[in-house]
A = this chain, B = another copy of it.
Amino acid sequence: MVSIKDVAKYANVSVATVSRVLNNKDTVSEGTEKIVKEAIEALNYRPNLVARTLYKKRSSMIGLILPDITNPFFPALARAIEDKALSYGFTVILCNADGNAKKEMDYIKSLEQKYIDGFIISTSQLEVENYDQFDFPVVALDRFIKNEIPTVMANNEEGAFKATKHLMEVNCKLIAHVRGPSGVGPADDREKGFLKAVKESTIKYTIVETDYDLYTAEKVAYQLLQNNPEIDGIFAGSDLIAAGVMRAANHVGLLIPHDLQIVGFDGIQLGKMLSPSLTTIEQPIYEMGAMAVELLYKQIEKLDLEKLHYKFSTKLIKGETTKNTRGFINE
């Protein structure tokens, strides 16, 4: 690799002069600056970023901690974050925490030692006290960590309320909510929205819990549908869970949407591949990712944050897993 010494030699100036040019100091004459810059170009010199990191204690890298990269919601989110981060000159380091708090802490500690500029964290498995030790800024995405940490999430409660209301509008009589794990913020908030909607009416309902995993969701839904044949509507806690519910419904022999109507949550591409296509609650994934990067960038640059906590509105996307409401509305 070309060194700063090579540049100095080529330009016939001192190493200190090259360094001053690199650091945009005013103490170099325009003529000298031009010569140095030509040498840099001629030799294709790239400043040693590791040395710069050591000096500035900045790496222009941000970490993104995801609970599970194979859950298709998170690649969509990662893509949004990466696009936005690049526009700020950040390289994104993806960390797949895999539901393992130790793995997550190992990532954080090892990247902290590389002067990572900050983290966007989409997990909630660390103790809140862990965050107090951190020397770098953090943004919580799709999770709430604590009041002092900027947060970006969808309005999960509102979205779940819309999903459940839709199932009631299409005339479901017994609605089940197949929710994500207890203690995971979005899953808890979606249950709240579900309960709010069902409790406004006299509709019968039940709630079961699964992991965010296709086969677990299928197993849970299979048992639910076997034991409760009168269930005719399911609000699934995510699109991936909805895919599991649909597999279970097929095995039980229920026709969708004739016998069983389903609404998911997320609005990822997966829903369009399912057959029938999934009615779901769409989160504005791209906008959420972009906002998370902006909030992290502002903290890194020590700029003011106008607001700490952002909740994005969701939207019902009508697919084929629920019946058309038109007839119902016209009745």
Q: How far is the CB of A264 from chain B (nearest CB, A)?
A: 12
- In the complex, the answer to whether A70 meets B59 with C-beta atoms within 8 Å is no
What mask results when residues 235 to 267 of chain A are scored 1 for a CB within 8 Å of chain B, else 0? 000000001001100100000000000000000
Q: How far is the CB of A122 from chain B (nearest CB, A)?
A: 14
Nearest B-chain residue to A60, judged by Cβ: B110
Report the copy number of this chain in the oligomer.
2
Interface check A46, CB cutoff 8 A:
yes
* Cross-chain contact of A79 among B70, B76, B91, B93 (Cβ < 8 A): B70
Known: A214-B272, A273-B247. A91 touches B91 (CB 8 A): no
Known: A91-B107, A91-B110, A93-B93. A69 touches B59 (CB 8 A): no
**Cα of A48 to Cα of B50 in the assembled complex, Å:** 12
- In the complex, the answer to whether A114 meets B214 with C-beta atoms within 8 Å is no
Known: A94-B92, A96-B79. A250 touches B269 (CB 8 A): no
- In the complex, the answer to whether B273 meets A214 with C-beta atoms within 8 Å is yes
* Cross-chain contact of A273 among B69, B110, B114, B274 (Cβ < 8 A): B274
What mask results when residues 1 to 36 of chain A are scored 1 for a CB within 8 Å of chain B, else 0? 100000000000000000000000000000000000
- In the complex, the answer to whether B103 meets A86 with C-beta atoms within 8 Å is yes
* Cross-chain contact of A114 among B1, B53, B76, B82 (Cβ < 8 A): B53
State which residues 40-56 of A face B: CB under 8 Å. 46-51, 53-54
Contact partners of A72 in chain B: CB under 8 A: 72, 75
Contact partners of A61 in chain B: CB under 8 A: 114
Contact partners of A272 in chain B: CB under 8 A: 214, 247
- In the complex, the answer to whether A250 meets B275 with C-beta atoms within 8 Å is yes
Contact partners of A243 in chain B: CB under 8 A: 273
Interface check A111, CB cutoff 8 A:
yes
Known: A75-B75, A91-B111. A50 touches B50 (CB 8 A): yes
Interface check A78, CB cutoff 8 A:
yes
Which of A75, A79, A92, A247: most chain B CB closer than 10 A? A75
Interface check A113, CB cutoff 8 A:
yes
Contact partners of A114 in chain B: CB under 8 A: 49-50, 53, 59, 61, 114
Q: Given A50-B54, A91-B107, 5 other A-B contacts at CB below 8 A?
A: A1-B135, A51-B54, A72-B72, A114-B114, A214-B269
Selected A-B contacts with CB under 8 Å, 27 pairs: A46-B109, A48-B113, A49-B113, A49-B114, A50-B50, A50-B114, A53-B114, A60-B110, A61-B114, A69-B75, A69-B78, A69-B82, A70-B269, A74-B75, A78-B94, A86-B103, A91-B111, A92-B94, A93-B94, A114-B114, A214-B269, A214-B273, A246-B275, A247-B272, A250-B275, A270-B273, A275-B275
CB within 8 Å of B: which residues of A?
1, 46-51, 53-54, 59-61, 69-70, 72, 74-76, 78-79, 82, 86, 91-96, 103, 107, 109-111, 113-115, 135, 214, 243, 246-247, 250, 269-270, 272-275
A-B pairs, top 9 by smallest CB distance, nearest first, are A49-B113, A94-B94, A275-B275, A243-B273, A69-B75, A93-B93, A50-B54, A70-B75, A75-B75
